[in-house]
Amino acid sequence: MNVVAVRVNWCVVFLFLSQFDNILSFRATQYSCARQQLETPFRVALKSYPVIGKYCSSIKSNTNRVLHPFCSNSTNKMAATDGNDNENVAAPSSSSSNPLASLGLPEPMLLGSASFTRKLILGEMGVPFSKFVRSINEKALGDRSQNAPPRELVLLLANAKMDRLVQELTENTPDDLPEKDGDGNGKGWVVLTGDQVVTCGGKILEKPESVEEAKEMVKGYAASPPSTVGSVVLYHHPSGIRVDGVDTATIRFNPETLGGEGYSVLIDSLIEQGEPVMSCAGGLMIEHPLTQHHVDRIDGTEDSVMGLSKDLVSRLLQELAEKLQNNEQ
């Protein structure tokens, strides 16, 4: 019983540190190797002592509810995935940390995306938002042939998503619009949409449709560094002012660790942990410690890889505010 008790205690500590790290950082590069070394003995312990697994599952469930109140109980953790949750993020207590308030733009922002990481990044920026999503047939739009320009594709898709939301705002009275506070910093709405693809070897990669396709995508990253190409479109309703832009980042993987069977082991491990690999463009979960173990460096910013460049959003908000000001004069 002493051995079981010690392993249970280690399990509790490991799960707490794991969840605590997820809520605070989502990066944890320096801890990735240590985590992978810990995983094997824990899996052995869970198989040898079922009581530990049962106890750990209850601890993990409770920890998720405490440390991830804004995250659903699904596998939406660190990748740019499409979720079904409908959370809104309230305005920060200090207006100086709220870009909308400091620029005199209406709030909350309408976010035309269900991506968990886009919500996370806007929250880190201090942008209050409310999810406002309508679906479009993305596959019917754009050129995805060999060497097709990815910049044009992501701008086309993000603007098509925006066109659908503008139509909804103009022609209907949506019942999922948030209520505005008394000091909502002006009338109307600021709407954000975006899109992202991964490019590798001249190919445009979107979400994999099978585990084998995900493995084939990641296998190519050992030989040719992939790049993420992400677009952002901002629109002010009802003035009709629209601004857009694109940001890119390149991920340099270690061919020695990702090559051979490394890519296959990585995908299998992510899926075994319940991670939403199939919901990620290019099967690329760059934020996960298991993936970061294979990364030498990133040319660009991690938030851009995750699906929403903070620098690009900030620049476009500034541009939108200036155009609105000029339009009112």
CATH of the domain at 118: 3.90.950.10
Residue 74 lies in a domain: no
User: 125 Cβ partners below 8 Å, 6+ apart?
Assistant: 99, 310, 313, 314
Q: Which two tokens stand for residue 295?
A: 């990364």
The residue among 271 and 54 whose pLDDT is bigger is 271
Specify the range with the lowest mean pLDDT, choosing from 30-34, 249-253, 308-312.
Answer: 30-34
- 198 and 60 in a single domain? The answer is no
Domain that holds residue 132: 88-328
34-38, 53-57, 179-183, 225-229: which is most confident: 225-229
Give the pairing of strands 129-131 and 88-89.
antiparallel
- 127 and 247 in a single domain? The answer is yes
- 151 and 50 in a single domain? The answer is no
- 137 and 257 in a single domain? The answer is yes
Residue ending a domain, choose from 67, 98, 118? 67
25-39, 44-58, 220-234: which is most confident: 220-234
Q: Where are the beta strands (DSSP E) in the chain?
A: 88-89, 109-111, 129-131, 189-200, 203-205, 227-237, 242-253, 295-299
Please state, for a pLDDT cut of 70, what percent of the chain lies above it: 69
Per-residue pLDDT at 90 exceeds 80: no
Per-residue pLDDT at 114 exceeds 60: yes
- Total count of domains within the chain: 2
Q: Are 249 and 304 in contact (CB under 8 A)?
A: yes
Please state, for a pLDDT cut of 90, what percent of the chain lies above it: 58
- 200 and 57 in a single domain? The answer is no
pLDDT-derived band at 146, boundaries 50, 70, 90: confident
The pLDDT score that the predictor gives to residue 64 is 34
- 17 and 48 in a single domain? The answer is yes
For the segment 214-237, the average pLDDT, to the nearest whole number, is 95
Q: Are 87 and 131 in contact (CB under 8 A)?
A: yes
- 170 and 318 in a single domain? The answer is yes
Residue 83 lies in a domain: no
- 96 and 167 in a single domain? The answer is yes
- 98 and 234 in a single domain? The answer is yes
Per-residue pLDDT at 21 exceeds 60: no
The pLDDT score that the predictor gives to residue 134 is 96
For the segment 151-176, the average pLDDT, to the nearest whole number, is 95
184: nearest Cα among 107, 236, 99, 92: 107
Q: What is the pTM of this model?
A: 0.71
